[in-house]
Each structure stands twice: as C-alpha cells, then as structure tokens.
Amino acid sequence: MKTYLVTGGAGFIGSNYILNLLSNPQDTLRVVNIDALTYAGNLENLQSIEGDGRHSFVQADIRDQDAMQQVFDSYQPDYVVNFAAESHVDRSITNPQVFVETNVLGTLTLLNNAKRIWQTADDEDSYRTGVRFLQVSTDEVYGSLGPEGFFTETTPLDPHSPYSASKASADLLVKAFGDTYRLPVNITRCSNNYGPFQFPEKLIPLMINNAQQHRALPVYGDGLQVRDWLFVEDHCKAIELVLKRGEPGEVYNIGGHNERTNMQIVAQIIAQLAESLDDPQISEALIQHVADRKGHDRRYGIDPAKIGAALGWQPETPFEEGIVQTIRWYLEHQGWVEHVTSGAYRSYLEQMYGSR
C-alpha cells in the first residue's frame, strides 16, 4: 500500500487532488494531508471523505522542522506531493517575506526530510524503491510571453513577482536535490486552474461571488492580459500520471489549451450568471477597471506537448464546459462561499478590491 504525503491538502488544488485520489473506495492507499489551515485552507473542502480511514489530517506548517520530522518518521510516505504555498500575487507584493519563508524554506524542509527517510543505509545516493517527490509549480516562473509562442520546459525562468520568484526558487531547490543527491523528483508547471473550492481571491470565483451580490467586478488595467485556463480535475489527473510514470528529474508543463483575456472570462461569467439567475442587474455595467498590478505579466501560454507525448495526457474539459460546471458549483455551495469570505478576509477583499 502506497502512502501519499500531500501538503496543502485543504487548499484548492490539493483538496481536489485528494478527492480524486480517494474517489474509488476500492483503491488501497493512504493519504496523509498536511495543511497549516491559513485563510485559504478549509477542511470543509474534504467533507465528502469524512470517515474514510485512508485519509489522515495533520495540522502543521511545512516550515516547522520538528513537526515535519515527526510526520515523515510516523508515516514513512512513499510519495510527497507539495501543493503547500502562498499563492496570491497581490499579497506577495505587499508581504513578500512570508512567500519566501513558506514557498522556499518550507520546500527545503520537505526535501531534507524526504532525503533523510528515503536514503538507503549502504549508499547515500540510493533511495528506497518506488519513492518520488513532486513539486507543484506554476507557469508564472517563466515570466511573460509576447503575442505568439508558448512556454516549454526549456523556457528560461524569468519571474516578475515575489510570488513567482519564490516558486522559481523552490523549483531550483527541487532540481538541485535531484542533481546533487539523486533524489527522485519531478516538477510540474501548470497554467491557471479553475473549478470547485477555489478561494474567492482569484479571478473566476471573485467575479462569480461579486456579481451575485451586484458588487463591482474589479479588472486590472485594460483587462486584456491573456491566461491559459485549466480545469482543476484535469490538472489532478496529470499530476498523478507524472507521479507514477514521469521520468525522474524531468519537468512537465500542464496546460489547458484555453487562452482567454481576463475581459473575455469576466464577460462569460456575467452572461452565464445573468442567464442562470435570470437577473438583469448582473451585467457588464458592474465591471470596474482598477490600477494595474505592479509587474503584471501580459500573457501566459503553456505548451503541454511533452506530457502528451511522454505520458499520454491531454486536457479533457473544454473551457465552455468547465466554466458552466464551476459556476453551477458556486451557486450550489453558497454556504461554503459565505464561510470562507466572512470576517477578516471579507475586510481584506474590500480593502483590496473595493466594497461597491
């Protein structure tokens, strides 16, 4: 029986990954979920697997060496999948230190512990059979594209925000542990994820939430920034393929073949919500252009040809279907939305984006 140590497993992508892992009750595996439960981590994401004995939750911070040593020693994981990260670019601009501490030093703590428990006694460059460390990263480490071309795995790293710089730094540490110590590692770099359980600081859930309440829909600058959108379930399937079949030491880009401008995304959400709720007050009149983000990259585009050719992965969910599923999910889970946007974080959203 394989044991997965999943960090950040109460967050958006991490919780979707765990739900996907445990979707078949006949599968024999164990999932150890590590999450510090900061504002973006929510155990309500995992309510559907309450009582599943294959899932264990440990509230801990990946920066805490003592806590991580205890977890690794107690559970002896075969796989480490690192989702844990501070991930909101706006917050990284106002407080870069916590991003470096969590995304870089936290990743280093995990790497050191994985190396420690997986090494065989007779050879420090030899590891237990079947183990793997997978670092979940982002296309933002590549910087910004022009109007043409795509990021490939050989595109030079050129991060422009404290967030992307911290993720690039973590990636390089993972690579260094593979090169220096022969630790079996992989890095995946994905495009923008969307889907259930995404915290409403990100574009799609923020627009869905604000539009229902007839609040302003804040759009940075002219809104013509281009992003490639990937349905979270497709991303989770790709991660599992890399973990099981990826070549050690390799980087795999994961993209959705769904490039859209931010304005196109917002317009589509408005149209779908207005129709679903039969609410004429949900209209493009709610759009409010705000000062552009500092260092805002203009375009991201992922070329996922490598993972397609090597592992047979392709995105399964066209954006037109995924966005309908996502909007429906948020409409059906208003209690979840109200819970995660209450209190201190509502004040933060109003300060960051305005209360109108």
Q: Can you list the domains of the chain with their CATH numbers?
A: 2-194+229-256+295-319 (3.40.50.720)
Which pLDDT does position 210 carry in this prediction? 94
Which pLDDT does position 352 carry in this prediction? 47
**Which residues sit opposite 189 in a β-bridge?**
137, 253
Two structure tokens written together for 321: 């279907």
356 residues of the chain, pLDDT tens digit each: 999 999 999 999 999 999 999 999 889 999 999 999 987 788 989 999 999 999 999 999 999 999 999 999 999 999 999 999 987 788 889 899 999 999 999 999 999 999 999 999 777 779 999 999 999 999 999 999 988 899 999 999 999 999 999 999 999 999 999 999 999 999 999 999 999 999 888 899 999 999 999 999 999 999 999 999 999 999 999 999 999 999 999 999 999 989 999 999 999 999 999 999 999 999 999 999 999 888 888 999 999 999 999 999 999 999 999 999 999 999 999 888 887 777 544 554 455 444 43
pTM for the whole structure:
0.92
Helix (H) or strand (E) holding 227: strand 226-231
Helix (H, G, I), strand (E, B) or coil at 1: coil
**Which residues sit opposite 194 in a β-bridge?**
231
For 196-234, letters b (16+ CB in 10 Å) and e give: bbbbbbbbbbbbbbbbbeebbbbbbeebebbbbbbbbbb
Which among 140, 201, 228, 234 is annotated as catalytic? 140
Q: For residue 154, what are the CA distances in angstroms to 35, 82, 273, 303, 307?
A: 32, 22, 40, 11, 13
Which pLDDT does position 161 carry in this prediction? 93
Which pLDDT does position 350 carry in this prediction? 53
**Who's near 50: CB < 8 A, 6+ residues apart?**
none
Q: Is the dihedral of CA 328, 35, 176, 126 positive or negative?
A: negative
In 3D space, the residue among 297, 167, 190, 203 whose CA is nearest the CA of residue 242 turns out to be: 190
Active site residue 79: no
Which among 86, 139, 240, 297 is annotated as catalytic? 139
Q: In what order do the strands lie in the sheet with 259-261?
A: 192-194, 226-231, 259-261
Two structure tokens written together for 150: 């795509």
Which among 142, 163, 252, 300 is annotated as catalytic? 163
Question: Do 177 and 111 contact (CB within 8 A), yes or no?
Answer: yes
| AA letter at 296 | H
Alpha-carbon span 135 to 245, nearest angstrom: 15
Question: Do 143 and 297 contact (CB within 8 A), yes or no?
Answer: yes
Question: Do 64 and 267 contact (CB within 8 A), yes or no?
Answer: no
Active site residue 139: yes
Active site residue 124: no
Q: Is residue 134 packed enough to be buried (19+ CB in 10 Å), middle (13-18) or exposed (0-12)?
A: buried
Two structure tokens written together for 133: 């460390």
Which pLDDT does position 349 carry in this prediction? 47
